[in-house]
Amino acid sequence: MNEFDFIRKIREQTRLRGASPDLLRGIGDDAAVFKSAPGSNLVITTDLLIEDIDFRHHTTMPGLLGHKALAVSLSDIAAMGARPRWAMLSLGLQAAIWDSGFADRFYEGFFGLADRYSVKLIGGDVSRAPERTVIDSLVIGECSPDRAVLRSGAKPGDQIYVTGFLGDATAGLRLLERGARLHGSREVLDPTLDDETSEVHPIDRLLLRQLKPEPRVGWGILLGDSQLATAMIDLSDGLSSDLNHLCTESNVGALIDASLIPIDPLVRDVCGRRALDPLMLALHGGEDFELLFTVDPQAAAKLPKRVDGVALTRIGEITTVSSGVQICEGSRVWNLEPGGWEHFKG
């Protein structure tokens, strides 16, 4: 199949998913054409995934990669407090990967997640790549006028929260690096199952936190609509790096309490057997795609306990910029330097 036939097939799949009155032209022209709700703001993000940097074919599956490519961009839209609407996908594939039917299963995983949030695929690009698979994912969301939650709104005294558990994705990555592989099961690839409630092998559960992250779309929409969050960021580089990003943009400091950081008991167990420090994974490990946000203490009581089954944990408080970004463990306090992922060292 050449790429024009393939694009026709994907276009047909988007057509079968039904029309959207806001989408005037999807796949099949030089560009997609859509309109935003009157007065709304548009929120747009793009994420590049490169083979052997962001994933390895032998430790994942095409469907999981399709899910993850969309998930990382949905997470950015959630971190703005916006509702995801449209997606575009650029794929660069080696000829052998193309011939293997990779793209079909990749889009299956992609649509599995997209359909859950009624996100429409409206375009993209397909190219040959000489050696490494390349994926660029783009998502456009909408929010009410001036309701986007920026990184820059945190004030001293605001309480700091995170969704879910931290460090799982890096624990999963460490397991993959040490040779663990998915036990494989219907659940792994079936996008209609919810990983967090279905019966999945415990090690698979950690591997899937790395290979099939769940963006906190529901939390993002709630925090944007309610305007409860004063600032927000998603945890993609790692808590230490991302908290520093948020504090820099807000011109504030922060003090977090190590004992409050939510760590999955399974991660503690797995780490204990493998001489890994769960706190280090939670602080500096990336790709959890949980949300980190700040809330005025007066408003904190209005926060729901859970959204879509995902709990919330208060981990600290915003301080003045002169205090810097700090962490306490019992009576010891130290500076929390960004220790997360960097592509290029300075």
Q: Which of residues 63-92 bind a copy of itself (CB under 8 A)?
A: 75-77, 79-80, 82, 86, 88, 90-92
Cα dihedral 145, 116, 219, 32 in deg (nearest 10): -30
Beta-carbon contacts of 258 under 8 Å, excluding residues fewer than 6 positions away, are 279, 327, 328, 329
Minimum Å gap between C-beta 27 and a copy of itself is 11
Cα dihedral 267, 272, 274, 276 in deg (nearest 10): 70
Minimum Å gap between C-beta 289 and a copy of itself is 11
Minimum Å gap between C-beta 280 and a copy of itself is 21
Pick 6 or 226: Cβ nearer a copy of itself: 6
Pick 29 or 269: Cβ nearer a copy of itself: 29
Residue 117 to residue 139: CA distance in whole angstroms? 12
Nearest to 188, CA basis, from 173, 178, 198: 198
Pick 64 or 88: Cβ nearer a copy of itself: 88
Pick 39 or 330: Cβ nearer a copy of itself: 39
Minimum Å gap between C-beta 212 and a copy of itself is 20
Given a contact cutoff of 8 angstroms between Cβ atoms, the answer to whether 216 and 290 are in contact is: yes
Nearest to 210, CA basis, from 133, 111, 286: 286
Given a contact cutoff of 8 angstroms between Cβ atoms, the answer to whether 236 and 202 are in contact is: no
Question: In the window 232-291, what residues touch a copy of itself (CB under 8 A)?
Answer: 232-234, 249
Pick 265 or 346: Cβ nearer a copy of itself: 346
Question: In the window 107-126, what residues touch a copy of itself (CB under 8 A)?
Answer: 122-126
Question: In the window 32-61, what residues touch a copy of itself (CB under 8 A)?
Answer: 32-36, 38-54
3-state SS record for 153-217: CCCCCCEEEEECCCCHHHHHHHHHHCCCCCCCCHHHHCCCCCCCCCCCCHHHHHHHHHHCCCCCH
Minimum Å gap between C-beta 199 and a copy of itself is 34
If one asks whether residue 29 binds a copy of itself (CB under 8 A), the answer comes out as: yes
Residue from 131, 265, 305, 332 that binds a copy of itself (CB under 8 A)?
131
